[in-house]
Structure 1
């Protein structure tokens, strides 16, 4: 059965200043690449944006009102890293809905992938690091309200998921794990339930061993009903904001490892593409495609063979 893919064109419909650091075009480029290898348009599901008041489940209502209304002060917007616009709010509300939909479809189908998401630096009452709202926390808490008991957030972005860690610190039924580079943003780390702060010069096989050991321990000990996987590619050796030295082949092995272990354990997995920062969108898209190659190896081998490593 085809794996559900969640995407909305608004993800890349944001005008940013020239030379802005955020690669906003990568979402559209990623969908185009998937279509070009034969993914059917009907395989993509389009989320409807959530309403701002729904964010009160996890975010401060005053913060949500100020940000959505364009009333957040300049210093707070600089911390986020984007200039305010209606398009910025629209894509953020839609992406929040997308990760929630991805999680819901994963529970139904076993696996689902979101062509956005991973905004793990957003806190209860402030944004940070290109993250306005925390989609991982929102999806986890939403599914918890729907009756899902135990959820694991497994974050392999090169930057620690500090917002996720702090927002869920008092929720014993949602476990947070962050495997990240120790000498990287954010400067002040928060305490996840399971943190692995890796040195920048870690060998690739050692990295894969650490990831496998963490995931195996958490799956066996916590036995989650759902895994939310942040498959950030900013740990790649060519990333301009990451410090790890992973190859494209190692990214694929990492994603295979995570997806295969959850598949073998019959635990539904919802993945978001997370961070990745290169000005060459074609090169960056190729890195994000490794997650889809790993997923298609389980669900559509012919498509998997069309994605280069």
Structure 2
């Protein structure tokens, strides 16, 4: 695993210390899991294309570099540089598709350009004409690292020039990173409490830990796969109960798939100011109006609900409520 300095040096945006703690937990857990199989995880601080180049030269007999294919521009730029490194070193490249419930090759469209621009049309098409691939079995034994290759230390917050975040007992997400924690959460939410059976009714809650699955951070980092969650849902439906709530977990996993495939279809257009439909909105640039808006924000910030939402790890429901409050309620 490479701790890429482009991701963490000089930034405190988007609650990065909380993300970093989750990531450090996940890397530690992955290394511990690999050690149980007789192997380990190589960890380096540096740009992936430079780290891989150094490893190729150190090992001297690398035949193929395998990596997970990404869809958005910053990640694609890293891929491009990595491919160039492999070409220079006469090393083969093999990419694979991951992170989605439905595999890209199994979509019921001739090419990604045929992806519907409406989620419902996408959902109905894949539910009717595609299938979810089975989860691959875990390896019981993996070859150890080559002799002389150091696994490398896992960096600290100080190493990465970040400040470790303080624990807050009010947090709606007190969970830590790692596959082990993800599996513990799934066991708790599905099998120990049956909370999944009421997910659709409670999913937009704000306070506490039990109103939602909380799977999103683990999915984002790769600690758990959407296909494993899908298999567990199907098992739960067969052994306990099947209802709108159990289906809704799959429904939300499909939303996650859809946005990734939209990014694959449209590339950087998803980040453009005018959006995918190229709508030219007459944006206001008057600083007096902006300062007036800031004044209103400061006046209403003391609202208990608003204060709570802003200070949480902002889930989708939190962001929706903040958006509607600032955009609609104060008529800003």
What TM-score comes out, normalization by structure 1 length?
0.28
- Which is richer in strand? 1
Larger radius of gyration: 2
